Structures are given as C-alpha cells and as structure tokens.
Homo-oligomer: A and B are copies of this chain.
Amino acid sequence: MKKNSPPVDYAGYLQLDRILSSQAPKSVELGAPAHDETLFIIIHQTYELWFKQILHELDSAIAMFREDYIDEKNIGIAVSRLHRIIEIQKIMIDQIRILETMTPLDFLEFRNFLTSASGFQSFQFRELEIKLGLKTNQRVKYSQQAYHHMFTAQIQSKLVEMEKNPSLFDLLESWLERTPFLDLTGFNFLKVYRQTVEKMLLLEREAIEQNLSLSAEDKKERLLLMKATEKHFHTLFDAQEHEQLIREERRSLSYKATLAALFIHLYRDQPIVHMPFMLLSAIVDIDELLSTWRYRHALMVLRMIGRKTGTGGSAGFNYLKHTTESHRVFADLFNLSTFLIPRSQLPELPEEFEKELGFYFSQKGNDTL
C-alpha cells in the first residue's frame, strides 16, 4: 500500500484551485453582473462532471462486453456499474429543481450574453448518446441541419469516428445472440414459447366468444383487439417478419437477440439467468431515466424561455420533446413486455438444460470440466 507517495491534501487532491476558479460569468465581464449567472454556470459544470462519470462507467461496461467471452463475475460488475449510472441519472433529474429556482426574468438578465453557447454543444452528451447506441440517422434534426453542424470540424470528425466503434447496444445485441439459451439440447425455446402463446390466445378468444355478459358490439370490439394481439405475437414467430420491421425502422434489435432477451425475462428466476436479467433491467432503467430527464429538461426549457428559439438558435422545446421519444435506443427492450406470458403457462426447463447453462457460465466457455 501507501509507500512513498507524497502526502496529499484535500484541496490538492481535488484540484480545487482549478475547479473553483473556473466560473467566469459573462455578465460580470461585460459590466452588468447578474447574480444568477453563477448558478447557471455551476449547475452545467456539475452536469458535465456527472457526464464524465457516466462515461467512465459506460466505457468500462463496453470494454467488458467487447470480449468474446464474458464471465458471470464480470456481468455482476457491469450491473453494479450500470446501477451507479442509474443513481447519477436520478440526481440529474432532481437537480433540475435547483435550476428552476432561477425565474425566467432572472435568466433574461444574462441570456443575451451567451450568444451562441448552447447545451446542444455538449460533446460529452453526444458521446454518451453514441456510446449507448444512437445513430446519426435516428437523430431528430433541428435548425434544418444535422447535429454535427453545432461542432467544429475537428470535433465533428471525432464524433463520426466514435460512431464506428461498437456501442453498448451493438455489444449487448451480439452478446445476446451468442448466449446459448435458444439452442440447447432437448429444448427449443421458440417452439415451446409459440405453442404456449397459441394455446393461450385460443383460450382467450373462446372466453370472449362465450362471455354472456358482453354485448355483441363489445364482443366484436374485443375480438378485433385480439386479432391485433395475435398479429403482434406473430412478428416474433417469424424471423422474416422481424427483419421486415427492422428494415422499416420499427424495430432495431436483431431477431436472435430479441428471442434471447425474451428467454431471459421469462426464466429470470433461474439463478443462472439472474445476472443477465439484472443487466437487461438496468439498461431499461437507464433508457427510461434518460427519457424522463429529456422530458423534464424540455419542460424546464419551455418554462424558462417559452416558445422562443433556444440559445444557439436551436428550436427549443419542440426539438427536445421529440428527442424524448425518438432518441430511445433500447425501446425494443421496453416493448418486450408485450410478448411476456404468465409464468404459470410456461413449461419448466429440462434439468440438463440448467446444467448446460451452469457450465456455460462457470466453466469459461467450452473448456473441459
């Protein structure tokens, strides 16, 4: 342990001389000091610090998932790091309340000094979106221009470069594809699942048809809904249909990965699937909290500047509101719930299957025992 390291003091360790001297309000510089500009600067700095921390965790998770083989121990570590991201996101949402103690009129006292500075120029936030898996073509356009426009040529090319690396989405997808859940001895998951669903839907249809308390019209309406449900399930029984939906940009996760994720959800009580389930849950949490943050941020901007254009000329509220929906990278994991069926309907896993899974995880891939 501590050998010859020179003694550290608190202020030096945290580099407080730099951190605490990096607030230079424009309004002060321009001779019209606005009390609240300090808050505006400091809260954005804390956001950037948290972005850095999130990227630190995300990078480490991505590094783990770049390996061909990921042992269970590392999935556990990845989950705990994603949980840290979740706790940071909660604070990111809640601390909007601090900024809202600044009223629109207070903001106006220095807003014009900011000229073209805009939160859209946060490099780290773009980095975060890219590393999660957001692709340029999924992005909402604003000011009629691609989002790169906001950045210098140098930074633009850095972002473009970054997009070429596998994102968390990409890595999760191929990890899911590699898991052995779908192909093991004596248990064809898709076949079993399909049979169960079809039997379940048949019973439901019969229940509606034989329900005496429903009017003819109600029955018709319910059967229409049933039809929609059946059609929806069918997209999961047929790889072709799934591929078609991906081409139409209505789905993004590959067919095989989707089935593996569904398996994990349905059999999550199996110890062997427990960590993978926690992993998927954590990712869905992150996606949900990012959406919530975007929404709260959009509302706050609306309140602060109304429907005027944002600083830096961005389209403000409308742009932000659209991103809450269309920038969701893991929407397909969210939508998985649509395909869940009650535990009681599910067949048990064959015992050998559990053993095979156990060996997969604990014996470092295909090594001998």
Interface positions of A (Cβ within 8 A of B): 1-3, 5, 7-16, 18-20, 22-24, 26, 29-30, 32, 35, 38-39, 41-46, 48-50, 52-53, 56, 60, 72-73, 76-77, 80, 83-84, 87-88, 90-91, 94-95, 97-98, 101-105, 108-109, 112-124, 143, 200, 203-204, 207, 213, 221-222, 225, 229, 232, 265-266, 268-271, 274-275, 281, 284, 288, 291-292, 295-296, 299, 302-309, 312-313, 324, 334-344, 354, 358, 361-362
Closest to A52 in B: B20
Given contacts A91-B98, A98-B84, A269-B73, contact A303 B275 (CB under 8 A): no
Chain A interface helix/strand/loop/mixed = helix
* A–B Cβ pairs within 8 angstroms, 21 of them: A7-B213, A10-B312, A13-B114, A14-B41, A15-B22, A15-B24, A39-B53, A39-B56, A42-B52, A76-B271, A84-B98, A91-B94, A105-B343, A112-B342, A143-B221, A284-B303, A292-B295, A302-B335, A307-B338, A308-B338, A358-B358
Contact B104 A340, beta carbon cutoff 8 Å: yes
Contacts of A308 in B (CB 8 A): 229, 232, 337-338
4 new A-B contacts, CB < 8 A, other than A15-B22, A42-B52, A42-B53, are A88-B98, A104-B340, A303-B334, A306-B334
* A308 CB to nearest B CB, Å: 5
Contact B91 A266, beta carbon cutoff 8 Å: no
Contacts of A112 in B (CB 8 A): 1-2, 342
> Which of B39, B306, B337 contacts A303 (CB under 8 A)?
B337
Question: How far does the alpha carbon of A199 sit from the alpha carbon of B121 in the complex, in Å?
Answer: 31
Question: How far does the alpha carbon of A254 sit from the alpha carbon of B25 in the complex, in Å?
Answer: 39
Question: How far does the alpha carbon of A252 sit from the alpha carbon of B271 in the complex, in Å?
Answer: 31
Closest to A12 in B: B117
Question: How far does the alpha carbon of A90 sit from the alpha carbon of B20 in the complex, in Å?
Answer: 21
> Which of B222, B270, B338 contacts A313 (CB under 8 A)?
B222
Contacts of A295 in B (CB 8 A): 292, 295, 324
